[in-house]
Structure formats: C-alpha cells, structure tokens
Structure 1
Amino acid sequence: MDHTSTFEKVLRGLAVTLVLVFFLFPIVWIFLMSLQTNETILRIPPSLSFTPIIDNYTALVTGQLRTAAGSLQLNFMQNLFNSVLLSVCSVALSLVLGVPAAYAFARFKFRLGEDIAFTLLSFRFAPALLVLLPLSLYFKTLGLTNTYIGLIWVYQLICLPLILWIVRGYFEDISPDIEHAYRIAGNSWWKTFTRISIPLAKPGIAAAGLLAFIFAWNNFVFALILASADKQPVTVGALAFVTASGIQYGQIAAAIILSITPTLALALYAQRYLVEGLSMGAVKG
C-alpha cells in the first residue's frame, strides 16, 4: 500500500512539473530574451549561453531606444502609467456601477430584466470594430477623443458586463433568508446590502474585478483608435518597437516582462478569490 501511495505521489509530482514547464516556458524564454541583444536572440541555432545585459530595460526606463538607424524616443513608461490608470479607474467605476446592478438583477424580478441583463452581456460578444466608428464620431462631438475620461468610459464595454454577470451569479447563491433576518432586526436596505450582501459576495466581486482588470489591461483596439501616443496603454505603445531598421526583439521582450508583472502579481495575490469566485458564482450565473 505504501509503495502504491509513493508511486502515485511521484506521478502526481511529475505531472505537475510537466504542466508548470509547459505553461511557464514561454515566460522564462521571453525573460531570457529580454537580457540579450538582437544579434544574440537571432543567432542560429538558439543557445542558452549568453552574457546577460540590462540595456533593454534601461532603454525602456530612459526612453532612448538605440537602433541600427540611430536613436529613437520611447514613451513606454508613460504607456505603462496609462495602462495602470485606465485599468484601475475602469474597474473601480465598473464595480461601483456593476455590483448594485448585479444585486438588483439577482434579487428583484421586473419587466424586461433578463432582456436588459442579456443586452449588457452582449456588449462583451460584439466585436470592437462594430462600435468604433459611431464611438469615434460621438467622441469628437463631445470632446472626449484622446482623453482619459473617454477611454475609461469606453472601457466599461469591457468591464461592466463581466462584473455584472459574475457578481449576479454569486448574489443568487446567497440565501435571501440571511438578508431578511437582518432587515427584520430593523436595519435598512442599504445597511443590509453593505454589511451582509457585499461581504458574503466578496470572493465573487474580487474574482470579477480581477478578470475585468486583466481584460482592460490587455485591450488594444479602443485605445489605438480613440487616443494618441500620450494616452495609449502599453498594448498600443509596443508598436513603437517595430521600426524601419527592424524589430527590436530584446526591447519587446523587456516590455512584455514589465507589462505582465502587475497583472501576474495581482493574479497570484488574488488567486484564492479568483478560484472560489468563479467556481461558486460564475458557473451558476
């Protein structure tokens, strides 16, 4: 019996190791690329033997990209700041709007409620190019083109439906009897919502917020069309590495490492909420 148990542990450990290698290998390879020059990266055959450099990271921080044709100005750190600002503000606004709406859809039955909820969800299915033309015209009329407020507004098409449907499913899993008991004790609806419903739904809210943050961070098309270089996130700013003298693979790799670090750190920190929130709330919703 002990031999069988040991064999199973070895197999389980081997399987976990293979899965980790499979999923982490691209990240490790990109990290190694970020410590090399273009010549080292493009040599054939590839080799793990090289002298590490930090020039690629220095170029990103200082904004000076050296190419075969000369020096090129970069705004990567500004793009990184834009990504943080747009993603955080968009998710915060979506949580403020989406959590009460999710509670209303979960607890109250009203005419066309399901139709309205599905319409909001359909915004996630619609291709971005479908709404970009009318949005660009409206933005010019309202003076929102190339503004943070305009981008945060349009990012609600990404974040709000996701938060609404995940959190709604989680609220539906919470027994209404708990809320009724708190209301009978003389507490208002708002106190019941903030002190009972939201704390019980916290894992689902955290999971929805994390997923919305990742989707907002990775968005490309909206910022490409509706903003200029000084307001664009890193996903669009990465286009600057494709120059007339060639593609700067080392700088691209360094930019990828810096740009995925915030979302990766956030995902690792909130992974317990992510797993619990998705497994309990989103499946039912």
Structure 2
Amino acid sequence: MHHTSTAERILRGFLLTLVLLFFLFPIFWIFLMSFQTNEDILRIPPSLFFSPTLENYIALISGRLSTVAGDLDIAFMRNLWNSVLLSSLSVGVALILGVPAAYAFARFKFRLGENIAFTLLSFRFAPPLLVLLPLSLYFSELGLSDTYLGLVWVYQLIALPLILWIVRGYFEDISPDIENAYRIDGHSWATTFRKIAIPLARPGIAAASLLAFIFCWNNFVFALVLASADKQPVTVGALAFVTASGIQYGQVAAAIVLSVTPTLMLALYAQRYLVEGLSLGAVKG
C-alpha cells in the first residue's frame, strides 16, 4: 500500500510538472523574446542561446521605436498608465455601486429582484459590438466621446455585473443571525453593513475586484471605438507595433511582459489577502 501511494505521488508530481510546463512555457518564451532582436527571434531553428539586449524595453520606455523605415513615436507608457487608471477607476466605481446592491439582493427579497439581478448579469454576456453603435452616438451627443469618464462608465458593463453576482453569493452564505444580533444592540442597517457584512464578505469582494480588474484591463473593443490614441489602454496601444515595415516581435514581447506585470503583481497580492480573509472568516466577525 505504501509503494502505491509513493508511486501515485510521483505520478501526480510528474503530471503537475507537465501541466505547468505546458501553460508556463509560452510565458517563459515571450519573456526570452523580450530580450532578443528581431533577427534572433526569427532565426530558424529557434535557439535558447542569444546575446540579451535591453533595446526593446528602452524603446518602449523612451517611446522611440526603430523600424526599417525609420524611427516611429509610440506612447506605450501612456497606454500603460491609461490601463492602470481606467481599470482602477472602473473597479472602484463598480465596488461603490455593486457591493451595496449585492447586499440588497442577498438580504431583501423584493418583487422582480431576481429579474433585475439577472438583467444586470446579462450585460456581461452581451456582445460589445451590440452596444457600441448606440453608445458611440449617445457619447457624441453627451460630449463623453474620448473621455476617461465615458470609458469608466462603459467599463461598468464589464465590472459591475461581476462584482454584483460574486459578492451577492458571499453575502448569501453569511448567516443573517450575526447581523441580527448586532442590530438588536441598537445599531442601524448601515452600521451593520459596514461593520459586520463587509468584513465577513471581504474574500468575495477581493476575488470579485481582482476578476473585474483583469477583465477591464484585457478589454480591447470599447477603447478602440470610443477613445483616441491619448486615452487608449495598452491592449489598443499594442497595435502600434504592427507597422508597414513588419512586426516588431521583440517590442511586442517586451510590451506583453510590461503589461502583464501589474495584473500578475495584483493577483499575487490578492491571493495572500484572500487566504488571510478566508482563514479569519466568521471568527473575526
């Protein structure tokens, strides 16, 4: 029996290693590409051995992209900042609107409540192109075209339904008895929500915020249609690397590394926070 469990552990470890290699190898290869010139990248057969260069990162940070046809100005760092700003503001607004709404849907049963909640969720599944034409017309009428405010508003179609549904599930899992006991002591609904419900649902709020941030960060279509170059996020800004003289693979790889880093760091931070929140749970409340 002991031999079987050892063999199983070895097999499981081997299979996990294979899965990790399968998923992580493309990321590793892109990381290597970001330190190579186009000649090294396009070499056949590809090689793991090359002379590393920082030219790709220097080009991105300085905003000067060297191509066969000459130098090209790219605002990659501005695009990166736009992504951070748009995603952070969108998630912030979605939390302010979504967390109280999620609590209301979880605690108060009212007429058409489920229908309203499902309608809000359905916005998440609507094809972006379906809403873009009417939105672009409304935005030009309201003066919201090519503004951060307009983009943050549109990004609510991504962030708000996610936060609403995930956090609602967490509030439903929390026993109302804890809140009732706190309210019997003379505290209001608002104080109970702030002091009891939110701390207990913190893991859910953190998970929903992280997912919403990643989905907002990865969005391409909204910003492509509704914003000009100086407001566009990194997903749209990456189009600058496809030039008439060819694709700058090294710069594309460096751009991917730089654009993935913020979400990766946030995910690592949130993972630690999630574990802490889950381990404390109702004991803390």
Name the TM tier (shorter chain): over 0.9
The one-letter code of the counterpart of 2:115 is D
Alignment match, 2:40: 40
The residue that corresponds to 1:204 in the other structure is: 204
Partner of 2:67: 67
SS of the equivalent of 2:120 reads helix
CA contact (8 A) 1:210 1:274 kept: no
Q: CA deviation at 1:17?
A: 1.4
Q: Which residue pairs with 2:10 in the alignment?
A: 10
Gaps of 5+ in 1: 279-285
Deviation digits for residues 232-259 of structure 1, max 9, x if unmatched? 0000000000001000110000000000
Alignment of 1:21-170 (within 5 A): 21-170=21-170
The TM-score with structure 2 as length reference comes to: 0.94
Q: Does the 8 Å CA contact 1:207/1:275 hold for their aligned counterparts? A: no
Q: Where does residue 213 of structure 1 map in the other structure?
A: 213
The SS at the match of 2:187 is coil
Query: Is the partner of 2:219 in helix, strand or coil?
Result: coil
CA contact (8 A) 1:59 1:65 kept: yes
Query: 1:13: Cα distance to partner?
Result: 2.1
Instruction: Please say if residues 205 and 277 of structure 1, whose CA atoms lie closer than 8 Å, have aligned partners that are also in contact.
Output: no
Q: Tell me the residue number matched to 1:281.
A: none
Aligned twin of 1:269: 269
Q: CA deviation at 1:49?
A: 1.4
Using the alignment, how far apart are the partners of 1:173 and 1:189 within structure 2? 18
- Letter paired with 1:20: L
Q: Aligned partners of 1:198, 1:189: CA distance in 2, in Å?
A: 12
Q: Deviation of residue 276 (structure 1)?
A: 9.8
Q: 1: CA distance between counterparts of 2:4 and 2:108?
A: 54
Distance of 1:188 and 1:47 partners within structure 2: 66
One-letter code of the match for 2:8?
A: E
Counterparts in 2 of 1:161 and 1:131: CA distance versus 1, 3 Å: same
Q: Percent identity?
A: 79
Equivalent position of 1:195 in the other structure: 195
1:272 shift after superposition: 5.1
Amino acid at match of 2:242: V
Quote the residue 1:282 is aligned against: none
State the AA in 2 paired with 1:252. Answer: V
Alignment partner, residue 232 of structure 1? 232
RMSD of aligned Cα (Å): 1.6
* 1:275 Cα offset (Å): 8.1
More off after superposition, 152-161 vs 35-44? 35-44
- Distance in structure 2 (CA, Å) of the matches to 1:4 and 1:154: 56
Rounded Cα–Cα distance in structure 2 between residues aligned with 1:271 and 1:15: 24
Residue-by-residue CA offset, 1:73-106 (whole Å, 9 max, x unaligned): 0100000000000000000000000000000001
Q: What is the alpha-carbon distance in structure 2 between the residues aligned to residue 40 and residue 129 of structure 1?
A: 39
- Matched residue SS, 2:71: strand
Of the structure 1 ranges 84-93 and 5-14, higher mean CA displacement relative to structure 2 is found in: 5-14
What is the Cα deviation at residue 4 of structure 1? 3.6
Q: CA deviation at 1:9?
A: 2.8
Structure 2 CA distance for aligned equivalents of residues 40 and 240 of structure 1: 21
The one-letter code sitting in structure 2 at the alignment partner of 1:89 is: L
Q: Which whole-Å CA distance do the structure 1 matches of 2:265 and 2:19 have between them?
A: 20
Give the 3-state SS of the residue equivalent to 1:111 in structure 2: coil
Query: C-alpha separation between the residues in 2 aligned to 1:135 and 1:277?
Result: 39
